[in-house]
Amino acid sequence: MAFRKLLAVCCVSALVAGCDSGAVTTESTYATDSEARAAAAGISHGEYVARLGNCVACHSIPEGEPLAGGLRMNVPMLGNLYTTNITPDPTNGIGNYTFEEFDRAMRFGVKSDGTRMYPAMPYPSYAKMSEQDMRALYDFIMNEVEPSSTPNQPSEIPGFKDMARMGMGIWNVLTMDDEPYEPDDNQSNDWNRGAYLVQGLGHCGACHTPRGLLMQEKGLDEGDSAFLAGAPLDHWSASSLNGDINSGLGRWTEDDVAEFLGSGHNRFGTAFGTMVEVVNNSTQHMSEADLRGMAVYLKSLPPVAEVGATEWSYDNSDTQELLSLNFSEPGSQIYYEYCSNCHGTNGQGYYPYQPPLAGNPVIMDPDPSSLINLTLNGSLRVIADEGPDVNDMPYFRQLLSDDEIAEVITYIRSAWGHNASAVTTAEVSEIRAATDPTRNDDIFTLRMK
């Protein structure tokens, strides 16, 4: 089976390239076509592409039918809208879309009736998809997904503001590169595969790249230093994925990156916040080769904010103070009483059950939003192959005041050799007012079919 699929990939590239084109073209096609990976996973090519693109995270909700839409999303400055039904139902879904119309929606953000979409649908990333993958995705939706008659919900954007839709064509011209991914022949096959996934289907930049004045991602590939440099979204901070030595992936090996994406854990930390949706619904379903490709690509991104910075090293003195019950450091007693059971007086946690805080890049993220949000509200659980995580971070919004949360986070940002900025009470109050505790007792995965 795997052999036949692999052969099919070779045939396609031979057809496209002619007979005398040699190995490079075959590899390039391999980098942008997911068919062989799907065969390895034992699912159809299109289902695998849908996993890579994580359609389900936005187009399914726990109480709804698979891919029938209904997730509320915020469009900055305009208001809320709902994701749509993308099942093959002809009336309420996309059953009447031709392949050409589907392709236009996925790459340019135009619905079949000509309405422009907001980039809450990450079409600027999906524009990089190869035609093979796009066709397979279309076939999956049309033939494998169950039609659902769930009607679409009207957006909560007032009519006069919704006129902004009409400007999206101009927005595309100003901000987007709408060409499919072009492999770079100077880079390895793994690197190209990783670039194709990270920039394109994985739409990692939708969360991890800072946005400019027009709310566009400030960089769409490694040619731009803002690409994946870390960004705030929904009161979480999607931290830097470049080579920054302390707050980015500079100290991670390729294996560390692949392990984190494949299982939600590694020796540095555990996925939490909105990253859980990415691991649970998308990256854990990727083949080892695809995880490695993304790791190779991410590890090739140079440091940006921390060029020439001193590498973090563990400092034992805070652990000694905690063990001798010396609580002169503000926040240390709160840490000792509420946090050290799980994360250890030494800050090193109990891998893979309780993540370490010492040396964890998210603790040294210049933006503390994730730390505040997680301490106030907890997080959804990672659900990987072995089942849901047994442990999760409790929420402290009822137990600790804003002052206390600011103190304990400031403490972990300076303990064990960390040197990150202090957190203020006002920052905690702001996130408390804007968020709710996670329903972290609910254990569910979203279905595509």
Closest separation in Å from C-beta 7 to ligand HEC? 27
Closest separation in Å from C-beta 354 to ligand HEC? 5
Interface with ligand HEC (CB under 6 A), residue from 26, 28, 54, 130: 54
- Residue 278 as a binder of ligand HEC (CB under 6 A): the answer is yes
C-alpha–C-alpha distance, residues 415 and 401, integer Å: 21
Closest separation in Å from C-beta 221 to ligand HEC? 14
Contact 122, 57 (CB under 8 A): no
Residue window 233-272: x/- pattern of binding to ligand HEC, with contact defined by CB under 6 A: ---x-xx-x---------------x--xx------xxxxx
- Residue 351 as a binder of ligand HEC (CB under 6 A): the answer is no
Phi and psi angles of residue 74, each rounded to the nearest 5 degrees, phi first: -95, 130
Phi and psi angles of residue 349, each rounded to the nearest 5 degrees, phi first: 60, -165
- Residue 208 as a binder of ligand HEC (CB under 6 A): the answer is yes
The alpha-carbon radius of gyration of the chain (Å, integer) is 23
Interface with ligand HEC (CB under 6 A), residue from 342, 424, 429, 447: 342
Contact 355, 265 (CB under 8 A): yes
C-alpha–C-alpha distance, residues 202 and 200, integer Å: 6
Please identify, using beta-carbon distances, which residue of 26 and 83 lies nearer to ligand HEC. Answer: 83
Q: Which of 239, 276, 262 is nearest to 366 (CA)?
A: 239
Closest separation in Å from C-beta 113 to ligand HEC? 7
DSSP string, 394-442: PP-TTTS-HHHHHHHHHHHTTGGG--PPP--HHHHHHHHHH-----TT-
C-alpha–C-alpha distance, residues 91 and 109, integer Å: 20
- Residue 341 as a binder of ligand HEC (CB under 6 A): the answer is yes
C-alpha–C-alpha distance, residues 321 and 323, integer Å: 5
- Residue 389 as a binder of ligand HEC (CB under 6 A): the answer is yes
For ligand HEC, the binding residues in 352-381 under the rule CB under 6 A are 354-355, 357, 360-363, 370-371, 374-375, 379, 381
For ligand HEC, the binding residues in 115-154 under the rule CB under 6 A are 117-118, 120-122, 137
> Would strands 79-82 and 72-75 be described as parallel, antiparallel, or unpaired?
antiparallel
What number of other Cβ atoms are within 10 A of residue 20's Cβ? 6
Interface with ligand HEC (CB under 6 A), residue from 358, 396, 415, 428: 396
Size of the site for ligand HEC (CB under 6 A): 73
For ligand HEC, the binding residues in 149-178 under the rule CB under 6 A are none
- Residue 43 as a binder of ligand HEC (CB under 6 A): the answer is no
Q: At what angle do helices 131-143 and 99-108 cross, to 10 degrees?
A: 120
C-alpha–C-alpha distance, residues 145 and 333, integer Å: 53
- Residue 209 as a binder of ligand HEC (CB under 6 A): the answer is no
Give CA separation, 78 vs 207, 216, 400, in Å: 19, 15, 34
Select from 9-17, 53-61, 415-423, 426-434 the region that touches ligand HEC (CB under 6 A): 53-61
- Residue 406 as a binder of ligand HEC (CB under 6 A): the answer is no
Q: How far apart are the first and last CA of the chain?
A: 23
Closest separation in Å from C-beta 13 to ligand HEC? 23
Interface with ligand HEC (CB under 6 A), residue from 274, 280, 284, 346: 274
Residue type, 136: A
Interface with ligand HEC (CB under 6 A), residue from 39, 61, 68, 81: 81
- Residue 191 as a binder of ligand HEC (CB under 6 A): the answer is no
Please identify, using beta-carbon distances, which residue of 183 and 331 lies nearer to ligand HEC. Answer: 331
Interface with ligand HEC (CB under 6 A), residue from 12, 17, 40, 111: 111
User: If you search the block for the tokens 């849901």, which residue do you land on?
Assistant: 388
Select from 156-164, 183-191, 334-342, 419-427 the region that touches ligand HEC (CB under 6 A): 334-342
